[in-house]
Structure 1
Amino acid sequence: MKCVINGTTFDYRKNFQDNKDLRYRLNRLAGETFGGLSFEKWYEQGFWTEKTTPYALFNDNNCVANIFATVFHVIFQKEEKTYIQLGTVMTAPAYRNRGLSRFLMHEILKEWKDDCDAVYLYANDRAVDFYPKFGFTEVNEYQYSRPISARMGSLRKLNIEDPADRAILIKKIQYGNPFASVAMPGSTEIVMFHCIMSQKDNIYFLPKYDAVVVAQQEGDTLLCFDVFCGEDAHPEDILSVTADEHCRKVCLGFTPKDNLSFGPAVFREEDTHLFVLQEKDNIFRDNLLMFPMLCHT
C-alpha cells in the first residue's frame, strides 16, 4: 500500500516475513540499527511465525522504518489474556524525525487496540518522551533474588546446533515454567529466538529433574533467565545444581510464584524502560512483577 508521510511516498507493508527480498531489506536495517542483528536464522529454522508481524515502510528499495507486533497469551492469577508486545522499533538515520514511527504506531494501535487486553513495549532512553504521546505510561519491573549455595549434581550444556539437543530444548520450552507467576504459554518461537541468538551458550539440561535451565553466572551471582520442566521438580534443587561453587546469589529473569523465599527489587536495565498502554490492562499497577526476560522482542 502506498502512503504519503510529510510529502514523501512510501510503500507500507505488513506481515511480509515470507517475502525473501523484503525480509532481506528488513534484516539490513536491523543490522545497521542494532549492531549486526538479523532475523534470518530465526526465520530459516521455522520460528518466525504469524505471531510476530512486521509493520514497515520502504522507500528507494530500502526498509526505512519498522515495528514488530507480537501476540502473547499471558496467564496471571489464573486469568488468561491476550497481550501485544511492540518491539524492534527502528528508523534509518536519514528518515528520523519525519513521522514514520508515528505512522506505524497509529496503524498498529488501530488494528490491535480493541482486540487485545494490553499493549506494552520496551523503549530506550531516546524514546521515553515519544510513547506517552500514544497513551503509554512507564512502569517499574521488579526482579526477585535470594542467597543460594551450590549443590553437586549432573548437568550438561545443550548444543543448539545439534538436532537431538534442540529437540530436548523445544520439548521443555513447551512444558513452560511451572514456577513463574506470570506465564506466557505458547511462546516457544520467541524463546527460541533468544536461544538461537544471545543465549546459545547458556542452555543446560539437568537429567535428574528433566529440566532445561537458561542461566549465566557472573562472579558470585547466577542470573537464571528461565526454567522449563514439569510440575514435580523444586526450583531450589534446580538452581542449586546449576550454580557453581563460587555462587552466593541467584537473580531470576521471571517472577516466581513463591515470593516468600525471594526478595523483590526494582529492576533497572541500562537504556531500557517498560511502557504499557494506559487504557488497557496493567498488571504492574498493584503487583511487583517482571515479564519473562526470554519473552522480550
Structure 2
Amino acid sequence: MDLHTVTRIGPQDRALQELFCDYVPQVFRRADFRRWREWGEWNDDYRAFALIESGRVVANASVMQMRLRLEGREVTGYQFGAVGCLPSHRGRGLSRVVMNAALDACGDAPVLLFANPKVRQFYPRFGFQPQMQTLFAATYDAVPEGPPAPTLNLDDAEVRAGLAALSSEGLPSTERFGARGYATVASWPVANGFARPLRQLGTEAWVFAGVEGETLYLDDVFAREPFDLRAWIPRLIDQPIRSIRFGFTPERYWPGAAPAGEDTEADLFVRNLPLSQEANRFPIMAHT
C-alpha cells in the first residue's frame, strides 16, 4: 500500500483494530488496547489514522472526540494519542503524514495532546503551543474511620455503564479546564493497570483515589450532584494522611487547595484552544 494513503480505523473495523493493537506496544512499551477494546470502549468518538504497509500499522495518530469544559462552557474538541512510528520506519516523514490527516479531520476545532518528553519539538510544527499545567495540593490531617468506601471493578459491564452515566450526565470534576463524558478515556488506564482504585462514595459519586505514604491522591471525581468530599476522606484511607494531591483543578470540591508547582510530567500542547491564565490542571483520568 502507498505509504501516503492514510487508513481511518473506527469502532467497526475489527481486522484493522487488530493491526493497530499490534502496533501500539511496539512504540509504547507499556501500552495495550486489547482489554480496553474487549470491554467495548472503542466507540464512535475514537478514530485511528494509520499508515499500513505489508499488513501492519507502521505509523499512527489517533483522535478522541471530547466534550471539553472551558470556564463553564462546553466545547467540542479533540485529543490526540498513540502518535508514533515504528522504529524501523522513522526518519521518513510518516508521522507528519498521519498528523496532517488527523488534523484535517478535526478542522478548526480545539485540539490538545499530552506529549512524550522526547518529542516536545515535534508538535509546534503543526501549530501546537505548550501549555503549563499546575499541581494542586492541600494540607489535611485525617485518620481512617468508618467502613471503607467500596472498590469498584471496571471488568464489570454494569460498573462501566455506571461510570459512563456519571461522566456524561453528572458534574464535571472541574469547570475551569476539563471535560465530561470521557468514561472511555478514564477506562483505558484502568484496563492497562495504571490507575488508582475506583471507589464508591454513596450511590451517585465515584472517585479514583489511593494513598501513598502520608498523601491521599484524588485523581478524579465523577458525581451526579455536589457533595461533601471531606466527609468521605476517612473512608478513603487505610492509614493516617497529612496531605491531599488532586489530579484536577479542585475549585468545586476543595476550593482552598493551593497551587503546588508545575506539573513537569504533563507536557500539554494545545491548538486552537485559548485557555485562561488562571492555574488549571486537565483531569489526569481524561488524558489519552
- Note if contact 2:164-2:182 (Cα within 8 Å) is conserved in structure 1: no
Residue 48 of structure 2 corresponds to residue 54 of structure 1 = yes
Counterpart amino acid of residue 284 in structure 2: M
Aligned to 1:145: 137
- Note if contact 2:210-2:236 (Cα within 8 Å) is conserved in structure 1: no
Q: CA separation of 1:197/1:173 partners in 2, compared to 1, >3 Å: closer, same or farther? A: farther
Aligned to 2:113: 121
Q: CA separation of 1:69/1:165 partners in 2, compared to 1, >3 Å: closer, same or farther? A: closer
**Aligned mate of 1:89, from 65, 83, 87:** 83
**What is the Cα deviation at residue 199 of structure 1?**
5.0
Aligned to 1:296: 287
Counterpart amino acid of residue 196 in structure 1: A
1:66-215 alignment, distance < 5 Å: 66-114=60-108, 116=109, 118-148=110-140, 149-154=142-147, 155-163=149-157, 165-177=159-171, 179-181=173-175, 182-199=177-194, 202-207=197-202, 210-215=204-209
**What is the Cα deviation at residue 281 of structure 1?**
2.4
**Aligned mate of 1:276, from 247, 270, 273:** 270
Separation in structure 2 between the aligned mates of residue 242 and residue 294 of structure 1, nearest angstrom: 18
> What secondary structure does 2:42 align onto?
coil
What whole-Å deviation, never above 9, does each CA across 1:19-38 have from its counterpart, x for those lacking one?
Answer: 23221111111112222522
Counterpart amino acid of residue 185 in structure 2: I
Aligned to 2:34: 40
Counterpart amino acid of residue 281 in structure 1: L
**What is the Cα deviation at residue 166 of structure 1?**
4.5
What whole-Å deviation, never above 9, does each CA across 1:199-219 have from its counterpart, x for those lacking one?
Answer: 566111123x74211112111
> What secondary structure does 2:107 align onto?
helix
Separation in structure 1 between the aligned mates of residue 165 and residue 58 of structure 2, nearest angstrom: 37
Aligned to 1:6: none
> What secondary structure does 1:65 align onto?
strand
Separation in structure 2 between the aligned mates of residue 202 and residue 252 of structure 1, nearest angstrom: 15
**What is the Cα deviation at residue 13 of structure 1?**
0.3
Aligned length in residues = 284
Deviates more, 1:32-41 or 1:285-294: 32-41
What whole-Å deviation, never above 9, does each CA across 1:135-188 have from its counterpart, x for those lacking one?
Answer: 111111012110122352331212333455445444444444454223412212
Sequence identity percentage = 26
Counterpart amino acid of residue 146 in structure 2: G
**What is the Cα deviation at residue 94 of structure 1?**
0.7
Separation in structure 1 between the aligned mates of residue 44 and residue 30 of structure 2, nearest angstrom: 24
Gaps of 5+ in 2: none
**What is the Cα deviation at residue 105 of structure 1?**
1.4
Separation in structure 1 between the aligned mates of residue 146 and residue 262 of structure 2, nearest angstrom: 31
Separation in structure 2 between the aligned mates of residue 268 and residue 84 of structure 1, nearest angstrom: 22
Gaps of 5+ in 1: 4-8
What whole-Å deviation, never above 9, does each CA across 1:236-259 have from its counterpart, x for those lacking one?
Answer: 223343133321111111112246
Superposed CA RMSD in Å reads 2.3
Deviates more, 1:231-240 or 1:84-93: 231-240
Q: TM-score, normalised by structure 2?
A: 0.89
Separation in structure 2 between the aligned mates of residue 287 and residue 65 of structure 1, nearest angstrom: 36
Aligned to 2:257: 262
> What secondary structure does 1:248 align onto?
strand
Q: TM-score, normalised by structure 1?
A: 0.86
> What secondary structure does 1:180 align onto?
coil
- Note if contact 1:159-1:200 (Cα within 8 Å) is conserved in structure 2: no
Q: CA separation of 1:211/1:184 partners in 2, compared to 1, >3 Å: closer, same or farther? A: same
- Note if contact 1:27-1:40 (Cα within 8 Å) is conserved in structure 2: yes
Separation in structure 2 between the aligned mates of residue 111 and residue 290 of structure 1, nearest angstrom: 26
